[in-house]
A and B are shown apart, each in its own frame.
Chain A
Amino acid sequence: MMRRRIEIHCCFSRIFRWLSYGLFLPVTLSGVWALEYPTNKDLAKHLKAAAASQRKVVHVESFLKTPDKTELWFVELGAGKDEERKRRPALLLIAGIEGNDLAGTVSALAWLESLTKGYANDEKIRKLLDTTTIYIFPRLNPAGADSFSAKPKRETLVNNRPVDDDNDGMVDEDGPEDLNNDGLITWMRVEDPAGEYMLDPVEPRLLIKAEKTKGEQGTWRYLSEGRDNDKDEAWNEDGPGGINFNRNFPFNYRFFAPWAGLHQMSEAETRALADFIVAHPNIAVVFTFGSADNLIQTPKGEAPKRPPTAIHEEDVAFYRELGKGWRETLGLKKELSGASEPGAFSDWIYYHRGRLSLAARAWTPALQVELAKSKSGKEAEKPKEEKPKEEKKEKDDKKAKEEAPGPKKEDKTAADQSGDKAPKKAEGDTRNEEERAFLKWIDENAPEAFVAWRSFDHPDFPGKKVEIGGFAPFAKTNPPEERLDELAQKHSTFLTELAGKLPRIAIRKAEAKHLGNSIYDVTIQVENTGYLPTSLAQGNVTREVHPTRVVVKVDEKSILSGTRTTMLGPIEGSGGMKEARWIIHTGQRAKLDVEVISMLAGSVEASIELKQQN
Chain B
Amino acid sequence: MQVQIQKRLSVTTGVALILLFFFPSCLMAQISNRKPKASDPSEHSFPALGSSTQRKVQVEWNQFYDHAGLGAILARIHKAFPKLTKLYSIGRSVEGRDLWCLEVTAPGETKPERKPGMYIDGNIHGNEVQGSEVVAYTAWYLCHQYGRLEKVTDLLDHYVFYLLPTINPDGRDRWFHHAQNPHTSRSGVRPEDDDRDGLMDEDDVDDLDGDGSITQMRIKDSNGRWKAHPSFPEHLLAPVEADEKGAYTLLGSEGIDNDGDGLVNEDPAGGYDMNRNWAWDWQPNYIQSGAQEYPFSLPETRAIAEFVVAHPNIAAFQSYHNFGGMLLRSPGREGGVMRQPDERILQFIAQRGEKMLPFYRSMIIWKDLYIVWGGEIDWLYAGRGIIGFTSEIWNLRSLTKTNVAPTREEEAAFLKYVLLNDGVVKWKEFDHPTYGKIEIGGTKKEWGRTPVSFLLEEECHRNMAYTLYHADQMPRLSIADVEVEKLGEGLYKVWVTIENSRLIPTRINQDVSNHISPPDIVTLSGPKVKVLSSGRVTDRFFKRVEAVKRRPERVELETISGMSAVRVQFVLSGEGRYAITVDSAKGGMHASEQTLP
Q: Are A262 and B549 closer than 8 Å at their CB atoms?
A: no
Inter-chain CA distance A281–B305, complex, in Å, is 27
- Tell me, rounded to whole Å, the shortest Cβ–Cβ distance linking A29 to chain B: 40
**A16 in the interface, Cβ–Cβ < 8 Å?**
no
Q: Are A543 and B550 closer than 8 Å at their CB atoms?
A: no
Interface residues of B in 309-329 (CB under 8 A from A): 309
- When distances are taken between beta carbons in the complex, the residues of chain A under 8 Å from B518 are 164, 167-169
Inter-chain CA distance A232–B550, complex, in Å, is 7
- When distances are taken between beta carbons in the complex, the residues of chain A under 8 Å from B279 are 263-265
**B379 in the interface, Cβ–Cβ < 8 Å?**
yes
Interface residues of A in 491-549 (CB under 8 A from B): 541-544, 546-547, 549
Chain B residue at minimal CB-CB distance from A256: B514
Inter-chain CA distance A116–B284, complex, in Å, is 38
Interface residues of B in 287-335 (CB under 8 A from A): 287, 293-297, 305, 309
- When distances are taken between beta carbons in the complex, the residues of chain A under 8 Å from B550 are 231-233
Q: What are 21 A-B interface contacts by the 8 Å CB criterion? A: A167-B518, A168-B518, A250-B294, A250-B295, A253-B282, A255-B382, A262-B383, A263-B279, A263-B296, A264-B279, A265-B279, A265-B296, A274-B294, A278-B293, A306-B283, A307-B287, A348-B294, A543-B286, A563-B262, A564-B260, A597-B198
**B515 in the interface, Cβ–Cβ < 8 Å?**
yes
Q: Are B297 and A265 closer than 8 Å at their CB atoms?
A: yes
Other than the known A250-B295, A255-B280, what 20 A-B pairs have Cβ atoms closer than 8 Å? A1-B558, A3-B515, A168-B518, A250-B284, A256-B514, A263-B295, A263-B296, A263-B383, A264-B282, A265-B279, A274-B294, A274-B297, A306-B287, A352-B284, A352-B294, A541-B286, A542-B284, A546-B198, A549-B197, A564-B260
Chain B residue at minimal CB-CB distance from A167: B515
* Contact flags A589-602 to B (C-beta < 8 A → 1, else 0): 00000000100000
* Contact flags B367-392 to A (C-beta < 8 A → 1, else 0): 00000000000010011000000000
Q: Are B294 and A565 closer than 8 Å at their CB atoms?
A: no
Q: Are A565 and B196 closer than 8 Å at their CB atoms?
A: no
- Tell me, rounded to whole Å, the shortest Cβ–Cβ distance linking B378 to chain A: 11
Among B196, B261, B521, B558, the residue within 8 A (CB) of A547 is: B196
Take A167-B518, A541-B286 as given contacts and tell me if A262 and B309 are in contact as well, using a CB distance cutoff of 8 Å.
Answer: yes
**A313 in the interface, Cβ–Cβ < 8 Å?**
no
Interface residues of A in 239-275 (CB under 8 A from B): 249-250, 253, 255-256, 262-265, 271, 274-275
Q: Are A265 and B197 closer than 8 Å at their CB atoms?
A: no
Chain A residue at minimal CB-CB distance from B293: A278
* Contact flags B257-277 to A (C-beta < 8 A → 1, else 0): 000111000000000000000
Take A250-B294, A546-B198 as given contacts and tell me if A255 and B285 are in contact as well, using a CB distance cutoff of 8 Å.
Answer: no
**B551 in the interface, Cβ–Cβ < 8 Å?**
yes
**A427 in the interface, Cβ–Cβ < 8 Å?**
no
- When distances are taken between beta carbons in the complex, the residues of chain B under 8 Å from A255 are 280, 382-383, 514
**A457 in the interface, Cβ–Cβ < 8 Å?**
no
Q: Are A263 and B293 closer than 8 Å at their CB atoms?
A: no
Interface residues of A (CB under 8 A from B): 1, 3, 164, 167-169, 231-233, 249-250, 253, 255-256, 262-265, 271, 274-275, 278, 306-307, 348, 351-352, 541-544, 546-547, 549, 556, 563-565, 567, 597
Chain B residue at minimal CB-CB distance from A547: B196
Which of B193, B260, B515, B521 gathers most chain A CB within 10 Å? B515
- When distances are taken between beta carbons in the complex, the residues of chain A under 8 Å from B294 are 249-250, 264-265, 271, 274, 348, 352
- Dominant secondary structure of chain A at its interface with chain B: loop
Inter-chain CA distance A35–B299, complex, in Å, is 44
Inter-chain CA distance A274–B518, complex, in Å, is 31
Chain A residue at minimal CB-CB distance from B262: A563
Inter-chain CA distance A264–B297, complex, in Å, is 10
Interface residues of B in 544-594 (CB under 8 A from A): 549-551, 558
Chain A residue at minimal CB-CB distance from B292: A278
- Tell me, rounded to whole Å, the shortest Cβ–Cβ distance linking A483 to chain B: 37
Inter-chain CA distance A274–B298, complex, in Å, is 13
Chain A residue at minimal CB-CB distance from B512: A1
Among A168, A348, A563, the residue within 8 A (CB) of B261 is: A563
Among A249, A256, A564, the residue within 8 A (CB) of B515 is: A256
- When distances are taken between beta carbons in the complex, the residues of chain B under 8 Å from A352 are 284, 294
- When distances are taken between beta carbons in the complex, the residues of chain A under 8 Å from B515 are 1, 3, 167, 256
Which of B294, B516, B551, B558 gathers most chain A CB within 10 Å? B294
- When distances are taken between beta carbons in the complex, the residues of chain B under 8 Å from A597 are 198
Chain B residue at minimal CB-CB distance from A265: B294
Q: Are A543 and B196 closer than 8 Å at their CB atoms?
A: yes
Q: Are B549 and A263 closer than 8 Å at their CB atoms?
A: no
- Dominant secondary structure of chain B at its interface with chain A: loop
- When distances are taken between beta carbons in the complex, the residues of chain B under 8 Å from A307 are 283, 287
Inter-chain CA distance A550–B171, complex, in Å, is 34
Q: Are B551 and A231 closer than 8 Å at their CB atoms?
A: yes
- Tell me, rounded to whole Å, the shortest Cβ–Cβ distance linking A429 to chain B: 39
Inter-chain CA distance A541–B550, complex, in Å, is 55
Which of B198, B282, B293, B296 gathers most chain A CB within 10 Å? B293
- When distances are taken between beta carbons in the complex, the residues of chain B under 8 Å from A549 are 197-198
Inter-chain CA distance A428–B515, complex, in Å, is 37
- When distances are taken between beta carbons in the complex, the residues of chain A under 8 Å from B521 are 169
Inter-chain CA distance A562–B286, complex, in Å, is 28
- When distances are taken between beta carbons in the complex, the residues of chain A under 8 Å from B286 are 541-544
Inter-chain CA distance A542–B379, complex, in Å, is 23
Inter-chain CA distance A111–B521, complex, in Å, is 54
- When distances are taken between beta carbons in the complex, the residues of chain B under 8 Å from A544 are 284-286
- Tell me, rounded to whole Å, the shortest Cβ–Cβ distance linking B552 to chain A: 12
* Contact flags B524-555 to A (C-beta < 8 A → 1, else 0): 00000000000000000000000001110000
Chain B residue at minimal CB-CB distance from A354: B286
- When distances are taken between beta carbons in the complex, the residues of chain B under 8 Å from A542 are 284-286
Inter-chain CA distance A274–B261, complex, in Å, is 31
- When distances are taken between beta carbons in the complex, the residues of chain A under 8 Å from B282 are 250, 253, 264
- When distances are taken between beta carbons in the complex, the residues of chain A under 8 Å from B383 are 255, 262-263
Chain B residue at minimal CB-CB distance from A164: B518
- When distances are taken between beta carbons in the complex, the residues of chain B under 8 Å from A233 are 549-550
Rank and list the top 6 A-B pairs by shortest CB-CB distance, nearest first.
Answer: A263-B279, A167-B515, A546-B196, A352-B284, A169-B518, A542-B286
Q: Are B549 and A265 closer than 8 Å at their CB atoms?
A: no
Interface residues of B in 178-206 (CB under 8 A from A): 193, 196-198
- When distances are taken between beta carbons in the complex, the residues of chain A under 8 Å from B551 are 231
- When distances are taken between beta carbons in the complex, the residues of chain A under 8 Å from B295 are 250, 263-265
Interface residues of B in 230-276 (CB under 8 A from A): 260-262
Inter-chain CA distance A391–B350, complex, in Å, is 46
Inter-chain CA distance A363–B371, complex, in Å, is 43
Inter-chain CA distance A264–B278, complex, in Å, is 9
Inter-chain CA distance A307–B373, complex, in Å, is 11
Inter-chain CA distance A365–B558, complex, in Å, is 43
Inter-chain CA distance A233–B549, complex, in Å, is 9
Inter-chain CA distance A262–B558, complex, in Å, is 20
- When distances are taken between beta carbons in the complex, the residues of chain B under 8 Å from A275 are 297
Inter-chain CA distance A233–B516, complex, in Å, is 21
- When distances are taken between beta carbons in the complex, the residues of chain A under 8 Å from B260 are 556, 564
- When distances are taken between beta carbons in the complex, the residues of chain B under 8 Å from A543 are 196, 285-286
- Tell me, rounded to whole Å, the shortest Cβ–Cβ distance linking B186 to chain A: 20
- Tell me, rounded to whole Å, the shortest Cβ–Cβ distance linking A563 to chain B: 7
- Tell me, rounded to whole Å, the shortest Cβ–Cβ distance linking A594 to chain B: 15
- When distances are taken between beta carbons in the complex, the residues of chain B under 8 Å from A563 are 261-262
- Tell me, rounded to whole Å, the shortest Cβ–Cβ distance linking A255 to chain B: 6
- When distances are taken between beta carbons in the complex, the residues of chain B under 8 Å from A546 are 193, 196, 198
- Tell me, rounded to whole Å, the shortest Cβ–Cβ distance linking A315 to chain B: 15
- Tell me, rounded to whole Å, the shortest Cβ–Cβ distance linking A586 to chain B: 18
Inter-chain CA distance A451–B515, complex, in Å, is 36
Inter-chain CA distance A229–B581, complex, in Å, is 24
- When distances are taken between beta carbons in the complex, the residues of chain B under 8 Å from A232 are 550
- When distances are taken between beta carbons in the complex, the residues of chain A under 8 Å from B305 are 263
Q: Are B261 and A565 closer than 8 Å at their CB atoms?
A: yes
Inter-chain CA distance A354–B197, complex, in Å, is 18
Chain B residue at minimal CB-CB distance from A168: B518
Inter-chain CA distance A269–B500, complex, in Å, is 42
Chain A residue at minimal CB-CB distance from B551: A231
